[in-house]
Amino acid sequence: MAMNRLKTFVLLSVLTALLLFVGQMLGGYSGLAVAGFFVVIMNIVSYFFSHKIVLMMYRAKEAKEKDQPELYKIVREVAQLAGIPMPKVYIVPSEQPNAFATGRNPKNAVVACTAGIIGLLSKDELKGVIAHEISHIKNRDILIQTVAATIAGIISYIGVMARWSAIFGGFGGDRDNNNIIEFLVLAIVTPLIATLIQLGISRSREYLADESAARILNNPYGLAQALEKLHNAGKRVPMRLGSPSTSSLFISNPFRGGMLISLLSTHPPMEKRIARLKSMSF
């Protein structure tokens, strides 16, 4: 667990250093400041309101305890073990087995389960999934992902501006080799590196949530078995709601793709997650 926290810190530090490097390459910070202002505002709005947007996107409805007594019992029990307030419970009307957590802090948290996951998993397996999602809440992963998205967004914005500058002659005419190299770095290389670092942070937080869930329950096997079931069932039952841009929220990537999609996945390989959990001892 300590290693995953350290990895997140290192990746965020590298991402910040990359932003400072881009600022230095620009020679002046006015353009960087303007880009930063708009991206920060966008991410602040996203931080405070994205949970409502996501719940609407997946047509999630708040569940009543009388309709989902077993689910409420599990969520309440795990929240107490984790030492956080009871989050709101939502149901997503999809047969694909999956779950996600959202909300900017533990006091404003939501745990959402699809109809498919409730019907597929045993009590212990579902408890493992809920513990994973509550770990995301307790570890404030939404805040961390927002910070990473803000920095990566600024770098990507500068990359877009560099490409537009090239199209309209900003790197034309008397350009030399240094200008060409700067263009390639600003327009292509740094945004790609920033994206890969952001994905690395997301994967690190998934591993951390898995480990935290196992420690909350003092048992890694329920979650390991759940992940195996979700991985196999997810291949057969596609997610027909939402957007791939929200895939990082889910415990298992609900959208499938080719090799490039796998390379740029926000989730670690499921086989590695399961193997890590099974190797844990208490």
Q: HSE on the CB side for 275, CA within 13 Å? A: 5
User: What pLDDT does 254 receive?
Assistant: 85
State whether the Cα torsion 263-115-118-209 is positive or negative.
positive
User: What pLDDT does 123 receive?
Assistant: 95
Show the CA angle centred on residue 6, arms to residues 230 and 191, nearest 5°: 75
Candidates 95, 125, 133, 271; catalytic one = 133
User: What pLDDT does 195 receive?
Assistant: 74
User: What pLDDT does 67 receive?
Assistant: 94
Domain range for 11 is: 2-279
Number of domains within the chain = 1
234 within 8 A of 121, measured Cβ to Cβ = no
User: What pLDDT does 200 receive?
Assistant: 77
135 within 8 A of 213, measured Cβ to Cβ = yes
DSSP structure class, residue 252:
S
CB-based burial of residue 146 (10 Å sphere; 0-12 exposed, 13-18 middle, 19+ buried)? Answer: middle
User: DSSP letters of the chain?
Assistant: -HHHHHHHHHHHHHHHHHHHHHHHHHSSSHHHHHHHHHHHHHHHHHHHHHHHHHHHHTT-EEPPTTTSHHHHHHHHHHHHHHT-PPPEEEEE--SS--EEEE-SSGGG-EEEEEHHHHHHS-HHHHHHHHHHHHHHHHTTHHHHHHHHHHHHHHHHHHHHHHHHHHHTTTT-SS--HHHHHHHHIIIIIHHHHHHHHHHHHHHHHHHHHHHHHHHHHT-SHHHHHHHHHHHHHHHHS---SS-GGGGGGBSS------HHHHHT-SS--HHHHHHHHHH---
Helices (H) and strands (E) in the chain, counts: 11, 4
User: DSSP letters of 109-153?
Assistant: -EEEEEHHHHHHS-HHHHHHHHHHHHHHHHTTHHHHHHHHHHHHH
Is position 206 annotated as part of the catalytic site? Answer: no
Q: What is the mean pLDDT of each run of 10 residues along the chain (282 residues)?
A: 60 66 61 65 70 86 94 97 96 94 87 94 96 93 70 69 60 53 66 75 88 95 96 84 77 70 72 94 74
User: What pLDDT does 229 receive?
Assistant: 95
User: What pLDDT does 34 receive?
Assistant: 65
Q: What's the pLDDT tens digit per position in 148-188?
A: 666 676 777 666 666 666 555 554 444 455 566 666 666 67
Spatial CA neighbour of 94 closest among 71, 74, 112: 112
User: What pLDDT does 172 receive?
Assistant: 47
